[in-house]
Structure 1
Amino acid sequence: MSDTLLFHKTYHHPSSKDWVVFVHGAGGSSSIWFKQIKAYKQHFNLLLLDLRGHGKSNTMFQDMMKNPYTFKTVTQDILQVLNHHKIQSAHFVGISLGTIIIRTLAELAPERVKSMVLGGAVTRLNTRSQLLVQAGNLCKHIIPYMWLYQLFAYVVMPQRTQKESRLLFVREARKLCQKEFKRWFKLAADVNPLMKYFKEKELAIPTLYLMGGNDYMFIKPVKEMVTQHKHSRLTELENCGHVCNVEQPDEFNQHSIAFIQQNQAPQAMAG
């Protein structure tokens, strides 16, 4: 695989023309979708990728790593993979910070996005999370990054039922180096201004927000946004936290696959 492309895996369906692209969050990797692959590959072609610095993309982009990351540059990495596979347009499924990357891609190239499934969507950092980011920024040169990441994981996913998600993300985050963690951490400062813009400018792309009812840091602003956007809808999963694709995979798969099928081209559904 080219060292200018993100590490990625594809699964080809024998008849479907539709592609689904999975985008993980900060500190994760494509492995967090292990509970989705079996259900999804029965219906669609799949593309799973590791964002720059994550998973098996962590040794790539040595020249790029000298520069600060932006949501735009991280998103353009994904467009390069789509171009490489000649995927003109696709459905996108994301979790946590990956939802912002998908929304950025839809802004840059709306013709490439058929629909968006945004799980555990980050649409605004509340006061508590902003304070966490500020404290982390002050301490990131002093405190080992894994301490910071474990603290963040615990604050975002505090409940006992969220232990599996918490451990999964902490395990994946260990593969990040300290410098890489800092680059992604700085992106958090861009979230609120970017999301304010996204809230004010809705795209005419069908969007499903899949949120855990216990995702106390992020669900309220999503509820507010959905009331203002006519192309968006919210499905709330009861007794579920932030990483809903891991905590309630069957419900996540059922709702998201049905939504994508509703937004398939007629010829793809016929196939």
Structure 2
Amino acid sequence: MSLEEDDARDWLDAYVANIAEVDLPTLGPRRNPGNIRRLLAALGRATGTVLNRRALASDVGGAAGPIAAETLGNYLDALDRLMLVEPLPAWRPHMRSRSRLRAGSVVHFVDPSRGLAALGVGTQDLLHDLDAAGLQFESLVVRDLRTYAGPLRGRLSSWRDAQTGREVDAVIELPNGRWAAFEIKLGENAAGAAAESLLHFASNVDTQRHGDPSALVVVTGGRFAYRRTDGVCVVPITALGP
């Protein structure tokens, strides 16, 4: 059955309301539906960024002030138990350089539509804020990569050099020791800079310990798939598959 966007948004709004008013409160005592709604919205705004618990506590508490760290932890645990969020842990490989690597996880909903529903955001809003659209697109690609890597027993993580700010959006590790790195860009025009970032990252990984990457991939919202002369693959999201 095909639905118009308004119908889909009504369904998602009802789903988010059910999470806030029924699902999470039944998992433990004293779960405030208003706080849960604000948490879902805050996680929606923060998608694709490192989880900042202090900022989340302030956003959830609102005018009443930050909620307790323990309360926030309980809320996040409940969202994890309901399989609504699945943050990407940080990959901390052996590096040739003396990089100081980020240890925090990156925020992602299992389905990014949940965060957008909590924010009350639709397609027209995203078209007017392409930076926000890019982060939501990243979350969508991470969802697909996680789905396709699952049957291969692949593990997803992300990487960031805390000193330089350089980062890689997703790394897939397979049980046989093989690995691949992905940069995710909504626009095709950003593929060149993303490829350079992947090559810089791969050149600093200690391949004697980890092996060479099986693939370096830029996933875009564009139309064309091709391999660059430097070996980096540029792939539209529509070409991803098992």
* TM-score, normalising length: structure 1: 0.27
- Asked which structure has the greater CA Rg, the reply is 2
Q: Answer 1 or 2: higher relative contact order, Cα 8 Å, separation at least 6.
A: 1
